[in-house]
A and B are shown apart, each in its own frame.
Chain A
Amino acid sequence: MSEAYFRVESGALGPEENFLSLDDILMSHEKLPVRTETPMPRLGAFFLERSGGAETDHAIPQGSKLELPLWLTKGLFDNKRRILSVELPKIYQQGWRTVFSADANVVDLHKLGPHFYGFGSQLLHFDNPENADISQCLLQGFEEHEMGCLWRPAQGRLWNHGGCWGDWKPKETRRCQ
């Protein structure tokens, strides 16, 4: 046995992230903007500047804008939006999508967010009207990046990209998932 343990691979491009995947855990901890659709008692303990204070039992009022990690947002979201409504982070909005589809390789994904594709795929859970466009954009961008991976082996930026694929190593023939 040459290795102490084997990493669990990311499932973020599929329907759900893998529970034991370190990449997915880190990805799922990234925050996204939400709006509360119902008062939330006691959540104010984690958001002291928003909280109603101890008298209201640290309630967060309805209509507050917060940033919550993806895992928590998924847990609280329902398709009737009674608890939360989710906003798209800027880099997945129309403006950025246009830039991205013009030429995916121009955009520095690592700066935008280290888990661009995985996080973007999981965003589709929130029934946004722009979902069709987002998934199209992600797919296209990924194809271009993968092509770039094959045809531009020397470019430092792509290899250091990291992202949701883990580290892309030039020597490995293993394809990104």
Chain B
Amino acid sequence: MFCEKAMELVRELHRAPEGQLPAFNEDGLRQVLEEMKALYEQNQSDVCLQMEWFNHYKKSLATYMRSLGGDEGLDITQDMKPPKSLYIEVRCIKDYGEFEVDDGTSVLLKKNSQVFLVLRYFKSYEC
């Protein structure tokens, strides 16, 4: 367990007189390389499992996002933090004209103008 064979090799070198190398321990080295190979292969198979899980997760998330917000779906990964305020500052990328808000007031949405609007009107926006 825990690379005992490798530690033996290190101790062998550590014991050697200053500046000299002991004879090459081919057998010891081979055992260590085999142990490394076995660990690596176990690790690989673990990684495969994780990849499978992740692909499944990705698909579930994509399906869910597509099912929200009408035809286009909603990208919920856009905002990972909850909003700090109710309002959002928005810049219009094209002329829309008058936009009527819940309380009856309307806002003129012209290209490149910036306005404050209530957060829930937006699925995707430029900040």
List the interface of chain A (C-beta within 8 A of B): 2-7, 22-23, 25-26, 29, 42, 46-47, 69, 72
Contact B21 A4 (CB under 8 A): yes
- A3/B18 contact (C-beta < 8 A), A22-B13, A26-B10, A29-B7 known: yes
In the complex, chain B residues whose CB is within 8 Å of the CB of A6: 19
Chain B: residues with CB nearer than 8 A to chain A? 1-2, 7, 10-11, 13-14, 18-21, 42, 46
Which A residues are in CB contact (< 8 Å) with B20?
A: 3-4
Chain A residues lying within 8 Å of B13, measured Cβ to Cβ, are 22
Q: Is the CB of B10 within 8 A of A3?
A: no
Rounded to whole angstroms, the CA-CA distance of A3 and B16 in the bound complex is 12
**With A3-B18, A4-B19, A4-B20 as contacts: A72 and B2 at CB distance below 8 Å:** yes
Report Cα–Cα, A168/B10, bound state, in Å.
20
Which of A5, A7, A42, A46 contacts B1, CB < 8 Å?
Answer: A46
Given contacts A3-B18, A4-B20, contact A25 B10 (CB under 8 A): yes
How far, in whole Å, are A9 and B14 apart by their CA atoms in the complex?
A: 12
A16–B42 Cα distance when bound, in Å, is: 28
Residue of B nearest to A3 (CB): B19
The answer on a CB contact under 8 Å between B19 and A26 is: no
A46-B2, A69-B2, A72-B2 in contact; A2/B19 too (CB < 8 A)?
yes
- Is B21 within 8 A of A22, CB to CB? no
List chain A residues, Cβ under 8 A from B14: 22-23, 26
Instruction: Please give, as numbers and ranges, the residues of chain A lying within 8 Å of B11 by CB-CB distance.
Output: 26
Chain B residues with Cβ under 8 A from A29's Cβ? 2, 7
Closest to A2 in B: B19
Which chain B positions have C-beta within 8 A of A72? Answer: 2
Using A3-B20, A46-B2 as known contacts, list a sample of 11 further A-B pairs with CB atoms less than 8 Å apart, ordered by residue number in A: A3-B18, A3-B19, A6-B19, A7-B18, A22-B10, A25-B7, A25-B10, A26-B14, A29-B7, A69-B2, A72-B2
Check if A5 sits within 8 Å of B21, measured CB to CB. yes
Chain B positions within 8 Å of A5 at CB level: 19, 21
- Chain A residues near B46: list those with CB within 8 A: 42
A99 to B42, CA, bound (A): 46
